[in-house]
Amino acid sequence: MNRDYGIYVVVALLVILIETFASNLLAIGGITPDLLLVVIVSFALQKGQLPGVLFGFASGLVFDIVSTDVLGSNALVKLIAGYCAGFFHREGASLQSSIGSPRFIGVLLGCALVHNAVYSFLYTRPAEIPFVAFYLKNGIAAALYTTALALLPFFYASRQRGEDY
Amino acid sequence: MQRFAEFLFRYREHITAALLAIVSLALMSYGNVTQLGGFRALIIGGLGMVQQAFAWIPNPIALEKENRALRQINLDLQQEVMLLRRAGVENAHLRRMLTLKNESRVPLLPASVVGKTVFRTRQFLTLDRGSRDGVTIGMTVMTDAGLVGSVIATSAHYALVQTLFNRDVRVSARLEPTRQEGIILWDGFEHLLLQNIPKTEQVRVGDRVLTSGLSTRYVPEIPIGRVTDVINDPTSMFYRIIVEPAVEFGRLEQVFVILSTPPQEQLMLERALQEFIERRIAGR
């Protein structure tokens, strides 16, 4: 049980490093995927809402510090993502059953859309940037890109479970 | 008391989420956390080293485009040099007549872009020059084409530059033909917006936009871009002016850091004025 938490923390730190050092390699047309969100949603689905909220907040805060983003902005949106994903938690779910189910993709897309909506709102609020246009271009595209990348762990986990999609 | 404890336990997820959301909002409103400066410098140093390790990988498409663009810039510059020579002679003559103080040339430090970082929708460049080369926070970064942005963080050997394509950037600018002052900011997409230009001014598509001398943040007279559209919003007294940046941010490889920071005396005076206004507002 504790080993699971340790693995998630290590994976989250690795993902933060990847997003910090190699985000431009993953960018398509200026849109970058949010790999940390994938980790948070997986964690919340497997561990529950409260751990999801705490994990989302902590990892978002670390990301804020590393990425020079406004301190607290990613902490807020990531905890919201963990909170939303936690509603779909099933008691006793394993990592394979959490990630290897089509539900994971649906929950991730929903959480990514909410996450990006809140982030876009926070981002455009102090500036003269139209929120709706900004969200349609960046928020939705980034959510779809993140979900598309999450298909890789989904297919891997579903094969582990012995299910083919 | 027991009921309260039961209530807390029952709704612990929601209460924790609400409390952490309040903490996040408090952190956001707190703004710049300077205590993190040293840690961020460490991150920038690491970021620069990793990005420089991969900077040798050539991009033939980008190189070809850059060559084409450089040839065009060279042609434009030759024409401008001819005009400037004439203007220089005239200017020197007029300065002598008016006994104006000669403006010194600003020292430029060439730097290579070793990394481009995109955090969500914020773009940063990592330069292979840092505090050991004399680069400090707030210095202006430009290319031969125009303004790139300003240095927001440094480590010993690297510097992080915030480009114009960033929500937090505001540049005091002026239209070259009329010298009318405005504010440049990012439109959230591929262009810049020039604000605060009243409708009484004549603005034409193609007009050049330069940094103005009113800001202490950017060196004046650096090209920012050209006007591509002038929108007449009937609900506003000001034009909505779309500006195409002079710099092609997607192909940046070499830049110059202007090794000049605003005069401390001027900054102190402006800060004192700001504090005085804030005190007056607070005392009202």
What would the pLDDT profile of B128-186 be if each residue is shown by its tens digit? 999 999 999 889 999 888 899 999 888 889 998 989 988 878 899 999 888 889 999 98
| B174 phi and psi angles, rounded to 5 deg | -145, 150
Please tell me the CATH code under which domain A2-161 is placed.
Answer: 1.10.1760.20
Q: Scan residues 4-63 of A and list those with Cβ closer than 8 Å to B.
A: 19-21, 23-24, 27, 30, 32, 34, 48-50, 53-54, 57, 60-61
CATH number among 1.10.357.10, 2.40.10.350, 3.40.430.10, 3.40.50.300, domain B171-246: 2.40.10.350
B62 Cβ under 8 Å from any chain A Cβ: no
- On the question of a common fold for B60-164+256-262 and B171-246, the answer reads yes
pLDDT one-digit tens code per residue, A63-109: 988 877 788 899 999 999 999 999 999 887 787 778 888 899 999 99
Residues of B in contact with A142 (CB under 8 A): 120
Determine, for residues B186 and A133 on separate chains, whether the beta-carbon distance falls below 8 Å.
Answer: no
Could you tell me which CATH class the domain B60-164+256-262 is placed in? Answer: mainly beta
Q: Scan residues 109-138 of A and list those with Cβ closer than 8 Å to B.
A: 119, 122-124, 126-130, 133-134, 137-138
Residues of A in contact with B186 (CB under 8 A): 127, 129
| B142 phi and psi angles, rounded to 5 deg | -145, 170
pLDDT one-digit tens code per residue, B239-259: 889 999 998 887 788 888 988
Given a cut of 50, whether residue B34 has pLDDT beyond it is no
Where are chain B's structural domains?
2-31, 60-164+256-262, 171-246
| Mean pLDDT in residue range B111-131 | 82
B167 Cβ under 8 Å from any chain A Cβ: yes
